[in-house]
Structure 1
Amino acid sequence: MTIKDNAQTVFVIDDDMDVRDSLKWLLESVGLNVQTYENALAFFEAFDTSASGCIIMDVRMPGLSGINAQKRLSEYNIELPVIMISAHGNVDMAVTALTQGAVTFIEKPFDDQLLIDHVHSALERDRDRFAQRCSQSRIRDCYDRLTRRERQVLELIVKGLSNQEAADELGINRKTVEGHRANMTAKMKVDSFAELVQVAIALGLVQGIGKS
């Protein structure tokens, strides 16, 4: 499964209606879907966590500022790339936004093509995130289909144990381990030991690497 620009949305959050309207016109002129919000709270309330795309957000807004709204994205399970914009930017503000994960910080007035380029870059980053999530989901689904013994064999093999050593560890014979290993690699849809290790890293089965 893949996602394209026309399946993604650029979410514009700015308290200035003229800025919202001009950005909407600009981005729609290059074929992008755009939704606008006058403040971050309105965006949080309306956001669908299954949506993909990116966020363009003003740094300074009444009430909840863009900087503080950026800090709260994770509370709403929002992982979209963020482009911060400001008419009153300064170095400290830019550093804060970028440190918190913004992909870029642009000062108004900005060059239209520059903004469009940054938006396309952010959308590409979101597609990469989506692809990685799908890949991890597929790996987890395959892993969940393994039997308890196949999981044990997987964990021992990726730790570097031979079939015989894994058999000794589990108290079974080597032929049985080989059978479990064949079934396990087929279910995990891998063709080599290197691919098996990559799967184990994605699942967090290799100590000190990856996340569980």
Structure 2
Amino acid sequence: MIHTPTLFLLGVDVAVRHSLEGLVAPGGCSLEYHSTARSFLEAYNPARPGCVVLDIATVASDAPELQKKLSSGNPPLPIIILAGEGPLPQISRGFSLGPVDFLRKPVDASELCRAVTNALARDQEARCRIGLIAELRARAAQLTPQEQEVMRLMVQGLAQKHIAAKLKISTRTVQLRRTAVMRKMQAASLAELVQFLLILNSPAATPETAPADTTQPNPS
């Protein structure tokens, strides 16, 4: 299911809410206001895209749980923290573990809207990348062990005759397996296949869920 991005507003004042109403449009994003962090946590669903705008002065008692929830999402929900003048409260520093922006109050409306727009774009980009990784894993899972073996040598830059010699199989068999690799991975070229494998081996593709036979392409 595709969710419309949501601006989750936690304990912010009326002026902030009014500043962000201009970002809400048909097919755009929606606003969801919570007077406390607790009410937000009770309704929290990590599958919902968007970003959080919170007033740090309102979340102190629930900050540890809020930090844990928001940083454990995949991807972590971007956060915009509104803080008063003076040193940032100690409790706000824990949020630096995730994608976060700090804005001083009183907040300039245009600066706030710009920060929210950037946060929504980051969240969308991260979710698209996660979706692509999941799709590439599903494609790679269709490969037989023999096809994975050929793919590993393909992305190392070996020619078909060298792959055949290394695996002690015919060049015709290599060609058939190579064709199967390209078809199952839906790669239009060897360069695109290499790019797919680089994505699968990126930090975003965690070891716990990456396919066992994903191979590192030759960077050269």
TM-score range, shorter chain: 0.7 to 0.9
Superposed counterparts of 1:163-174, under 5 Å: 163-174=160-171
Q: Secondary structure of 1:63's match?
A: helix
**Aligned partners of 1:159 and 1:206 also within 8 Å:** no
Cα deviation, 1:85-126, whole Å, max 9, x if unaligned, reads: 112452685993674233311011111111011111111111
Identify the match of residue 136 of structure 1 among 124, 133, 136: 133
How high is the sequence identity, in percent, across the aligned residues? 29
Q: Secondary structure of 2:106's match?
A: coil
**Aligned partners of 1:87 and 1:108 also within 8 Å:** yes
Identify the match of residue 47 of structure 1 among 22, 44, 47: 44
Superposed counterparts of 1:1-212, under 5 Å: 7-14=4-11, 19-31=12-24, 32-60=29-57, 61-65=59-63, 69-75=66-72, 77=74, 79-90=76-87, 96=93, 99-204=96-201, 205-207=214-216
Runs of 4+ aligned residues of structure 1 deviating over 4 Å after TM superposition are: 91-95
Q: Secondary structure of 1:121's match?
A: helix
- Compute the RMSD of aligned alpha carbons: 3.0
TM-score of the pair, normalised by structure 1: 0.79
**Aligned partners of 2:56 and 2:92 also within 8 Å:** no
Distance 1:56 1:114 in 2: 13
Amino acid at match of 1:194: A
Count how many residue pairs are aligned between Structure 1 and Structure 2. Answer: 201
In the alignment, structure 2 segments of 5+ residues that lack a partner are: 202-213
TM-score of the pair, normalised by structure 2: 0.77
